[in-house]
A and B are shown apart, each in its own frame.
Chain A
Amino acid sequence: MSSATPLLEVEGLRKSFAGVHAVDNMSFSVARNTITGIIGPNGSGKSTTIDCISGFQRPNAGRIRLDGRDITRLTPQKIAKAGLIRTFQTVHIYESMTLRENLLQAARPFQAAGWVADFLRLPGMRREVDAAMVRADELVDMIGLRKYYDAPTRILSYGQKKLVALAAGLMPKPRLLVLDEPVAGVNPTRIREVEEVILNLHAAGESFIIVEHNVEFVMRLCERVIVFVGGSKMTEGDPKSVQQDARVLEAYLGIPA
């Protein structure tokens, strides 16, 4: 793919529930190797947009392209395989599994070994597990939870669980990782750590979309910020210009421009 093609392209997206348009005529695109923030007040269509992009909801209209490939009507698992991984607003991790098992499981669908190789423990499967283990080792150090590597994730705190979800999303080295409120409910010192993790990964070539209510977090981290209001894109730009946009203030604070 030429670098002119955007990594993610959303065009005329519409999703309605019982006649109410949660998202209407939503269009935006995300460039390769960037951190893009999506902000907007409650009910502005952030979550619905993410659900549509990741296949968890079917849009009523519109096109979604990942690296030029149309992924509009694919199932979540196919979209994940195509390289777009998402995390969830409420923590989704495998609580009864250890941190290590969580990370290895996240890499599993991207490996070539089939059921037969798994059942018979063929060498191909062992090689894949070893490779995934190397990646998991890197990530567990990055999120600073090595101490809990072999503990069931159920015993972790809320913020730690969010970090596990982040690391799991990174395991298969996705083309694009969509983080849905990665620091909601995480304590401020931890938020700094998450920022650092994301910046390091970004430097290594990873692309992110971050949906967050914590505006400062988004402004510090993102090169571009897209503002949703009322189910469609209101504006976008670099953090500074968005912050000074009178319409954004109005949408958030209700102050007329």
Chain B
Amino acid sequence: MRMPLLAIIVVAVAALLPLVVSSSYILSVGVTMFLYLVAAMSLNVIYGLLGLLSLAHIAFWGIGGYFTVIAVMDLGLSFWVALPLAGLFAGVLSIAVGFPALRLNRHSFVVVTLIFALLTTLVARDWVSLTRGPMGIPGIPSPYFFGHEIAGAYSFYYLSGLFALISLLLLYLFFTSRIADTMRAINQSEDLARSQGVNPTAYKLLAFFLSAFFTAMAGGILAFNQRVIDPLIFDFFFMQAFLIMVIVGGRGSFVGVLVAGAVMSILPEVLRFSVDLRMVLYGLALLAFVTWAPNGLAGWIREKREERLRSELRQ
């Protein structure tokens, strides 16, 4: 495999793109893609590796946005301090929610995370003294990087691109580590893992923490890019977008979700050539995947490989 070379080429092209393309529309699609990629890949940690469907993901995304904005505007913290703090805050919350949610079974985990997401939306709407309610917080100031103002598509393309690069590198190290292997083991047979001495709860909490941590920081950057934050950041649209990327890419696969995340971020924009049929075409593409590759891109490739191996070994 020439994976490392391919990765370097992709990163180089992405880094040089703004020098060639001056359309701020295309660059803003890039910003969205970078942030979605990180959020989808962190959902892939808890849902892909462990099979735990966390609907709280949308809550961490929004909490990250609100936390960063409030920390900068009301507490006067620097954006660069507020952003990782937002990640840590969401991470701590994820432990507080995860601990009781994980005491029961997988289904109750889904329900508890859903309720957490709904409650968070309520808080954002109704705790007016903190979040300013449904009107949201406008006029979010630009972050400064060594005196250089980060404003507009061009700067945010580099900010979110660099953030995605670092986050995805760390997540790649994680997905290829023995920690992730143990999570895959727990997902396949929790009883077997326990009989071999694994404590599943510790791994589940770690996965939930990491997924909250990275998602919240992506949400924080999103808010500063939009320059306004309101309860719409908790819109379920984001949740289903992340979920689709993970499912189409193939749960638990790093490369699969990376490719699917990029394609699924860009596809709705490409389909704009036909405004009326845009969402219909998007839906058709999804249906095709569910029908012919129910285990996603990575699952489809794996099945092909196994088929070949099976016939080789039978000879």
- The distance in angstroms between the C-alpha atoms of A168 and B198, with both chains bound, is 14
Contacts of A121 in B (CB 8 A): 177
Is the pair B199, A77 in contact by a Cβ cutoff of 8 Å? yes
Interface check B192, CB cutoff 8 A: yes
- The distance in angstroms between the C-alpha atoms of A106 and B309, with both chains bound, is 24
Tell whether A86 pairs with B182 under 8 Å between CB atoms, given A119-B177, A151-B309: no
- The distance in angstroms between the C-alpha atoms of A148 and B306, with both chains bound, is 12
Total number of B residues with any Cβ neighbor in A under 8 Å: 26
Is the pair A92, B306 in contact by a Cβ cutoff of 8 Å? no
Write the nearest CB–CB distance from B38 to chain A, whole angstroms: 18
Q: Which of the residues B173, B181, B197, B302 comes within 8 Å of A101, measured between beta carbons?
A: B181
| A131-157 interface bits toward B, Cβ cutoff 8 Å, 1 = contact, 0 = none | 000000000000000011001101100
Interface of B is mostly: helix
Interface hits, B266-315 → A, CB 8 Å: 302, 306, 309-310, 313
Tell whether A152 pairs with B178 under 8 Å between CB atoms, given A75-B194, A92-B192, A109-B197: no
| B129-148 interface bits toward A, Cβ cutoff 8 Å, 1 = contact, 0 = none | 00000000000000000000
Which residues in B have some Cβ–Cβ distance to A below 8 Å? 173-174, 177-179, 181-182, 184-185, 188-189, 191-192, 194-200, 206, 302, 306, 309-310, 313
In the assembled complex, 16 residue pairs joining A and B whose CB atoms fall closer than 8 Å, in A order, are A76-B194, A80-B194, A85-B196, A94-B192, A96-B188, A96-B302, A97-B181, A105-B185, A108-B182, A108-B196, A109-B197, A115-B179, A154-B306, A155-B309, A155-B313, A172-B197
Which residues in A have some Cβ–Cβ distance to B below 8 Å? 54, 56, 75-77, 80-81, 85-88, 92-97, 101, 105-106, 108-110, 113, 115, 118-119, 121, 125, 129, 147-148, 151-152, 154-155, 168, 172
Q: Contacts A80-B196, A88-B191, A151-B309 given; 11 further ones with Cβ under 8 A?
A: A56-B191, A76-B194, A88-B192, A101-B181, A105-B181, A105-B182, A119-B177, A119-B179, A121-B177, A125-B178, A152-B309
